[in-house]
Amino acid sequence: MSRFNGKILQAGLVLLDAALVIAAFGLSLYLRFDGNVPEMWIDSLEAILIPVVLINLATYLVFGFYRRAWRYAGIDDLMLIVFAVTTGLVGTFIYSYFFDMLPRSVYIIAWLLLILFVGGSKMAFRLLADHLGRKGGGARKRNALIVGAGEAGVLVARELKKHCSSVRLKVVGFIDDSPAKQKQIIQGLPVLGTCEDLPEIVRPKAIDEVIIAMPSAPYRKLQEVVTICAELPVKIKTVPGIFEILQDQVTIKALKDVDIEDLLRRPTVKLDMESIAGYLAGQTVLVTGAGGSIGSELCRQIAQLKPDKLILLDHDENGIFYIHMELVEKHEGLNVVPMIRDIQDRVTLEKVMAEQQPTVVFHAAAYKHVPLMEMNAEEAVRNNIEGSKNLIDLSADYGVKRFVFISTDKAVNPSSVMGATKRMVEIYLQDKARNCNSCIYCAVRFGNVLGSKGSVVLLFREQIARGGPVTVTHPEMKRFFMTIPEAVQLVIQAGALGKGGEIFVLDMGEQVQIIDLARDMIILSGLKPEKDIKIEFVGLRPGEKLYEELFNDRENFALTRHERIFIAPDTTYKKELIQQELASLGKKLGMKSLEL
């Protein structure tokens, strides 16, 4: 029935356009002669009228007029109408030239009238749909205020206008800190003030919801908005991945409550897909630690780049089971090989390398929990150092072309067993890179990732759900944070930049105080810090530092061609300095210095 109704609608649109073409040419002839049209020109118009109508309708059909949803018409659709009308008039002029020509000025007038008539009729559909959408529905619409009058905010406003009847939201205006935007009208909505003005705007305007649309704003700015709104009788919402909306992957109908990940989100990573595809497409790629948070996301993103084979290696059978099932379901035809193996077992690992012949290796397998590794230093050495050494050596022996090691900011001036093991592997990898011409070795160093297993965000979330207290080690504790997809995108990009021996450092943004993170998460849960949920300081645990570093004092900071990846070139190290550092790290780990 709906298909039948659609055919009737299309037929109605065709008839309307035919009438508009007839009206445009009749009126243009009338205007050309000021109402006194000679009989000969009326006869000429009648002679060519049917072919002219058919030419224009055929043109509109080719341009897709009768497949478009005109209720969502915008600037792009208006431009299409101009092109289509122009094309139709050119066809009409050519036909008339060979059969029965009208005065040239008639065609110019007809062109202008058709743009007005056809464009106006299509825009009328949108206006009618908007009017009926706003009029429909019985329940009261909630008043909403959009914080951010940039591109994201304008997109949110436009989409909310389209779907106002379904989301039951009426946008009252914008909030923006830019002085240039104050009192401007954007999308028919006023910019009412700055973030500081929120308390004076929310109550008089009876605002029910505040929608944050500032995807590139720093954490401090977003935190300021959340803190102000926490004292007001409003719900705080955000848009689920504004960049996903721009790519038409999700709908703006799905407004969601603000989560801590939304506050820490930065603009999406711009990837150089050509260079990435150059070293991953058609290759046999091995990912160690594939069942973990970083490893599994690496597998997801690598799978999209069309490798010939993707080998998932981990000793966690549950993790491998789930990521293997996911990849097989989503990437039909991709050769995915799940392998339950331990990188500490050199014999088994060598068998894997000999049988599978990987050409690219991403090494993400590691023990990472700082306090736990302080109590299990021998296992940290065995897994993080010996296991990594096995993989680095075997990669050179079995023809691996590119090796990317996932390191950590805790490897810089390490105070923990975990950080010391990672630093030792960095040094060993750099030495291997200097002495091996067949494989490009590089390391990528970054900080905490949101949502990874055992992360502080998940811990705080669990503590808030239990009613508290939220435990923070120290009031001055700071950490770098990234989302898992963001970190992995940069890791893959860094792998394309490596020439041998580099330690790449990802732009982590600004460090966030953990106490601020805890307070924000409590507020976003609709609760008050200290009143509803207590915050307790439990003291630094063994191996922990108050803040992390991204470079040590001997590494030269340098830029790459990617704006968010830095490089610490291995150029200033002398052999004796390396041996001294290895000896110091070995002492910390209770082991002999690593032999290079």
Please identify every residue annotated as catalytic. 410
Which residues does 312 contact at the CB level (< 8 Å), separation at least 6? Answer: 287, 290, 291, 295, 299, 320, 323, 324, 327, 336, 337, 338, 339
Main-chain dihedrals φ then ψ at residue 569, nearest 5 degrees:
-65, 140
| Ranges of H-type helices in 33-103 | 39-62, 75-98
Measuring CA to CA, which residue among 355, 443, 343 is closest to residue 393? Answer: 343
- CA–CA dist 7, 462 (Å, integer): 55
Dmax over CA atoms of the chain, in Å, equals 108
- List the beta bridge partners of residue 568: 503
CB 349 within 8 A of CB 400: no
Strand ranges in 118-242 using DSSP code E only, listed in sequence order: 142-147, 169-175, 185-186, 189-193, 209-212, 235-238
- CA–CA dist 491, 305 (Å, integer): 14
Which residues does 460 contact at the CB level (< 8 Å), separation at least 6? Answer: 470, 517, 518, 521
Q: Is 328 helix (H, G, I), strand (E, B) or coil?
A: helix
Question: Would you state the structure tokens that stand for residue 458, as one six-digit string?
Answer: 């998940």
Which residues does 459 contact at the CB level (< 8 Å), separation at least 6? Answer: 471
Measuring CA to CA, which residue among 198, 129, 138, 142 is closest to residue 172? Answer: 142
- CA–CA dist 132, 113 (Å, integer): 28
Give the number of other CB atoms < 10 A from CB of residue 507: 17
Question: Would you state the structure tokens that stand for residue 43, as one six-digit string?
Answer: 């006869």
- CA–CA dist 205, 234 (Å, integer): 12
Q: Is 193 helix (H, G, I), strand (E, B) or coil?
A: strand
Estimate the crossing angle of helix 417-435 against helix 388-397, to 10 degrees: 10
CB 258 within 8 A of CB 212: yes
Burial category of 406 from C-beta neighbours within 10 Å (exposed 0-12, middle 13-18, buried 19 and up): buried
CB 305 within 8 A of CB 277: yes
Question: Would you state the structure tokens that stand for residue 389, as one six-digit string?
Answer: 């050494």
CB 544 within 8 A of CB 478: no
Sign of the Cα pseudo-torsion (356, 359, 360, 361, in order): positive
Token look-up 């959408």 returns: 133
Question: Would you state the structure tokens that stand for residue 403, as one six-digit string?
Answer: 């090796």
Strand ranges in 194-283 using DSSP code E only, listed in sequence order: 209-212, 235-238, 256-257
CA 108 to chain centre: 47
Sign of the Cα pseudo-torsion (325, 455, 215, 495, in order): negative
